[in-house]
Each structure stands twice: as structure tokens, then as C-alpha cells.
Amino acid sequence: MDIHYIGKRFIDLYENGGNTMFFFSPCRVNLIGEHTDYNGGYVFPCALSLGTYAAARKRNDGLMRFASGNFPKRAAADITDLSYKTEDGWANYLKGVALEFQKAGYKIGGMDIYIEGDIPNGAGLSSSASVELLMGAALNSLFNCGMDRLEMVKLCQRAENGYMGVNCGVMDQYAVGMGKTDCALLLDCGKLTHEYVPLQLKGCKLIISDTNKRRKLADSAYNTRRAECERAVRDLRAKYDINLLCELSEEAFNVDKGLIKNEVDRRRAAHAIAENARTVKAVEYLKIGDLAAFGSLMNQSHISLRDLYEVTGPELDAMAEAAWQAPGVLGSRMTGAGFGGCTVTLVKEADSDAFISHTGRQYQKHTGLSPMFYTADVGDGAKRIYN
């Protein structure tokens, strides 16, 4: 997206004058490790070159004005009242971050901000975290807050949990905030530590396939799955001193899974614990260049999410199954919370056009929906980009 276009739209809305700053915040894709983040396990996401752009400028009063090229409705709020209002729609994500800045003791004032992105809304690529970290970067720069990146990640997660009411883990905000060009992050969500792992794909590429089946995370079964995992932990405490599922090894779970009384809760726990082990193995395979083994674990991840965690749905399953039959594919799985959204596929670069043609045709045949395909690069986390 052309930054000059963002600047022109900003001036058209808010007039010229003052020091305008520009920012970019990526979306993210998770390569493997799904629904393990809030269970204290490992995830393996990367930031993408797709994302959200902003132009922002301080005001001399306490008014915050919000506009977006992706949504027609504009909004405004005074910094003395940043409470959630249904009528403010998408702007509540920005207000929530601003309120968390205030709660953390940072002095912020009025501002004008215009945002526009090239992330498909509701596709599971973490557009909400992209917008939150974008606002965080803007506030941090405009008002010289001096907040470090990890604190900003945690703050934006609090905004989504408490203000927006989505009980997400930290992966989305962490990947968007801490991303690094040509690297994925092996993130330990229990300890909040990470390792940058180079994505050396050697003649392969990652293709993101958008099912065009939209989902709203706050309205999905996400919070239900989290509650099921928490119940499983309570049952396992009869023998194990744990707070989160992924503190338990796969071997110990297989011996004592009968401690979990509810069969549904037991299946949710089985996915989370096995997925955590799969993620560690997958990164080991990537480090030694065994992309076929990495891809096989991607496939296993999708099957587990389909059968044990039950968060895929007919559209994601149709997309994954079409990909598994396409030429040059090493692995394919749903990415994100599920219930619609996207898959991520590791495919040989020479076969990428054939993959898109085959998968698109088969998916449309089975669902009646027209998919979209993206081959975004792996990029940096949220940052100021100009002026």
C-alpha cells in the first residue's frame, strides 16, 4: 500500500497542518501450534508483509478522532471517557488500547488517526491484534511514552481481553509486536520467552488460502474451548501440580488422561498437549531443513484441530483436503482460532500456480465459495515507518 495515499486520505479527512507520523503493523500467520497459547504451550507464528497502515497527528485538545478506509463509520471520543460503546464499532479496538495506556500511567492526549489495511477482515490473520499494536505504536511515538515492545504486547492483549471481551492468549499480539523479517518466533506462551528461527524454505513458499468464510472471534466457540481446557486442568490437579495444560508432558497425559471426567474436555486436552509436542518437533525439523517432516506435522495439526478440538468446520476442511491433493504440497493446515478464516500451506515454489489452480477449483466445487490466495513475505513487527 502506498504511504502517500494514506497521507492524502488523512489530509482529506482532517486538513493539513501539524506533524503527521506514519505507522505500519503486520498481520500474522501461525505455522503450527494452535490453541496452545492460552494453555501455556509453544506456538510458531510469523509476521507478514500484509497489515494495517496509519497516519496520526496530535491535537491540542483531548479529542480523539478515528477514521478507516476499511470501514465507513467514523468515531470520536474524549480522552476523559474512553468507555466501550457499541456504536463505535471497530474504533473500540483503538479506544481500548488508549484506555490501557492511561491505566498504566502514561499521559496521552487528543489525536487524529486514519487507518487502512490490506488484511482480509475475519480471515483469522489477526487483524484485531494488528490494529491494537498499530494504535500502541502511534500513542507511544506521538506522546513520547517510552514503552518497551514487550510491555506494549501485554497491554494490547489486556485491551482485547478486558475491553473487547475476547479471552485470547498472547500469541497474536506477540507475533504482531515482535515479528522479524524472514524469521518465525518459537514462543513459549507460559514463560513469555521467544527464539527467532530463520525461515529457510529452500525452493518452497508459504501460501495463505482465505476460505472467504467469515467468523467473529468474540462470537465463536473460542471462549468455550478455553473453559473446557480449564476444567481439564482442574481434574488433572488431582495428581499434578499444574496451572495450564501444556505444563503436562504428552507421556504423563497418556497415562493419566482418565483423570479428566468429561469426555469432551479430555479430547480438548489431548489436542492441546499433543499439539504442543508437535510444535517443538516441527521447529527441530525446520532447523535441519527437513521440510517434508515439517509439512507432515502441519497435516497432523489440522486433523487434530478437526477431530479433537473441533474448530475447523466444513470450509476449512474442504480447503485443507483440496491442498493435500494438490501438486507440490508438503503440508497444509488451518491457522488462527478456526471456525472459518484461512489455511497456511507449505508448497514447492515451482508448483505454486498449479496449487492455486487446483485448490481453488476443488474448494469452490465443494463449498460454492470463491477463495483468495496470498503469498505475503515474512516481515517486521509494528513500527513507525516514516517521518
Cα–Cα distance, 139 to 217 (Å, whole number): 26
Q: Are 20 and 57 contacting, i.e. CB atoms less than 8 angstroms apart? A: yes
Cα–Cα distance, 132 to 155 (Å, whole number): 9
Please give the order of strands across the beta sheet that includes 45-58.
75-78, 63-68, 111-117, 45-58, 21-30, 383-386
DSSP for 141-210, please give it: HHTT----HHHHHHHHHHIIIIIS-----SHHHHHHHH-BTTEEEEEETTTTEEEEEE---TTEEEEEEE
Q: Are 222 and 166 contacting, i.e. CB atoms less than 8 angstroms apart? A: yes
Rounded to 10°, the helix 91-103/127-142 angle is 50
Q: Are 37 and 43 contacting, i.e. CB atoms less than 8 angstroms apart? A: yes
Closest CA relative to residue 34, chosen from 152, 122, 124, 128: 124
Q: Does 182 qualify as catalytic in the annotation?
A: no
The number of residues in the chain equals 387
Q: Are 158 and 170 contacting, i.e. CB atoms less than 8 angstroms apart? A: no
Degrees to nearest 5, angle at CA 77 with 73 and 78: 165
- Residue linked to cell 475475519: 122
The residues, any chain, with a CB within 8 Å of residue 124's CB and separated by 6 or more, are 215, 334, 335, 336, 337, 338, 340, 341, 342
Cα–Cα distance, 229 to 337 (Å, whole number): 15
**Which of 37, 88, 172, 380 is flagged as catalytic?**
172
The residues, any chain, with a CB within 8 Å of residue 304's CB and separated by 6 or more, are 270, 271, 274, 275, 278
Q: Are 189 and 173 contacting, i.e. CB atoms less than 8 angstroms apart? A: no
Q: Record the cell numbers describing residue 276, joined without a space.
A: 504442543
By annotation, the residues acting in catalysis are 172
